[in-house]
Amino acid sequence: MTEYLEIGDNTIAFDVTGEGPLVVLAHGIGDSRHSYRFLVPGLAAAGYRVANVDIRGCGDSSLGWDAYSRTDIAGDLIAVVRHLGGPAVIIGQSISGGAATIAAASAPDVITGIIELAPFTRAQSVDLGGLMRVKRFRTGYTQMAQVIVRGRLANWIKYLDVAYPVKPADWNGELARIKAKLDEPGRMAALQAMCKANPGDAGAQLAHVTCPVLIIEGSLDPDWADPRAEGEKIIADLPAGLGELVVIDGAGHYPHAQTPDQVLALALAFMAKTATSA
């Protein structure tokens, strides 16, 4: 059953599954909480209360927000955690990985750990050498640039094709669902706004995080020429000893949908150490 949390004049949609320590899931741009469809059952079966969130402007959450930065999304996630009676572990993918960093730094009283999947958590510079050397990076970069400039759904679909080097078994239906949602008036504009949001606000908070952090990258993620190197830079900017990096071979930008069993195993091992007080 979908629940709604009012934040100002807008609403955040989420659903809750299971009982136990709280885990909050937050997806990436242009997506919805359905992105975690393979992860939720396993988390709930393992004894967690799973709140699966549609971030602002996406899924069943409202449009018309003033801004779509990682800081804004972090505030929404903290509000959900407090509403549900945290503390919680946050699992955030892509833009929501950066938002999870900000949430952890801003609300250490209710965030006990964060797992970042293929996160955009640092300010990015143009990697000209990577664009020349790595075809998947060049292809993803080109399609994302078109999305940012032109706001065309066709370019987003082409980006997803390379971002999912391994397609889930239900990919045809999932792609149709994504297309239908992004065809709704205002949804692509929200996606564009998130693409334009500078991740530097998240990077600035890495040094202030006090809880454990797990970074999971896919080796074939088209958003970086070298996903491992990006993960290592995030770890380096965290306080010493807090961060752990795992790179899943063959996964792209959506490891939770492409390699859910591996992500679940990693998440459960991490949360066994960090969610015991939740």
Which uninterrupted H or E stretch holds 118? Answer: none
Return the bridge partners of 22, or none: 49, 88
C-alpha 41/C-alpha 234 separation (Å) is 29
Low-confidence ranges of the chain (pLDDT < 50): 276-278
Please report the pLDDT score of residue 275 as a whole number. 59
End-to-end CA separation in angstroms for the chain: 23
CB 74 within 8 A of CB 110: no
Burial 152-180 (b: 16+ CB within 10 A, else e): ebebbbbbbbbbbbeebeeeeebbeebee
Amino acid in position 265: A
Return the bridge partners of 248, or none: 218
CATH of residue 206? 3.40.50.1820
Containing structural domain, residue 138: 3-274
- Using DSSP, state whether 114 is helix, strand or coil: strand
C-alpha 60/C-alpha 25 separation (Å) is 15
CB 106 within 8 A of CB 211: no
Burial 184-199 (b: 16+ CB within 10 A, else e): eeebbebbbbbbebeb
C-alpha 84/C-alpha 265 separation (Å) is 25
Q: Which of 90, 65, 71 is nearest to 12 (CA)?
A: 65
Chain centroid to Cα 126, Å, comes to 22
Please report the pLDDT score of residue 127 as a whole number. 83
* Residues, the chain: 278
Q: Which of 198, 208, 262 is nearest to 239 (CA)?
A: 208
Per-residue pLDDT of 17-31, as tens digits, reads 999 999 999 999 999
Q: How many domains does the chain have?
A: 1
- Prior bond to 87 cis, omega within 30? yes
Q: In angstroms, what is the C-alpha Rg of the chain?
A: 17
Which uninterrupted H or E stretch holds 85? Answer: none
